[in-house]
Amino acid sequence: MLSVAYRRAALLASQWTTADVRWLAVTTDYAPDVDTDEFVAAVTSWELTGAGYARWVATGRVASFDGATLVLDCDDPQFGVVAAGETIGWAIAYRHVTDDTDSELICALRVEFATDGATPVTVVISDRGVLRFADARHRRLEPGWA
């Protein structure tokens, strides 16, 4: 699966376990643009709107470092039982500050899930984590699902 790291991902990595990290889901019509998408407000036009959908506050956040690679991980995001008719294209992690205009995007994970109004929407994160910073001393970013 594809994952995209936004421009501030490396800077926000140090705050992964202490910041208010949340997830939202957008439709397949959204196309991540790491050059222009910086805050949540840039992606809300594509956010799910179906009954039952809710943003998710990340739990189980951990950061591990083995001397070369920094891995950021969390529990699998859960968006509730969303009314039928929407197709989720991306799950997006962000650092919540005050509102959508100042909450910074961290990464987007590519998923494809058609809502049916009965099945809870859960994004299963790879055992490799959400994001990996290979050779973290030099900040080379490697998506968790690469």
Asked whether the predicted pLDDT for residue 142 surpasses 70, the reply is no
For 103-120, what is the mean pLDDT?
93
The set of long-range contacts for 34-38, using a CB threshold of 8 Å and a minimum separation of 24, is: 34/4, 34/5, 34/6, 34/7, 35/7, 37/6, 37/105, 38/6, 38/7, 38/8, 38/104, 38/105
Token pair belonging to 126: 């790879």
Residue 44 lies in a domain: yes
Percent of the chain at pLDDT exceeding 90 = 67
Residue range 7-17: mean pLDDT, rounded? 84
Q: Domain range holding 48?
A: 3-61+79-126
Look at 10-19, 33-42, 45-54 and tell me which has the smallest mean pLDDT: 10-19
Q: Which residue has the higher pLDDT, 29 or 11?
A: 29
Q: What is the mean pLDDT of the chain?
A: 88
In a domain, 55, yes or no: yes
Q: Which pTM does this prediction carry? A: 0.89
Residue 72 lies in a domain: no
Domain membership of residue 12 (yes or no) is yes
Considering the domain boundaries, does residue 138 fall inside one?
A: no
Q: Where are the alpha helices (H) located in 6-86, listed in sequence order?
A: 9-12
pLDDT at 47: 97
Predicted pLDDT of residue 76? 95
Any domain includes 7: yes
Cα(84)–Cα(80) distance, integer angstroms: 12
Q: What domain count does the chain have? A: 1
How much is the pLDDT for 14? 83
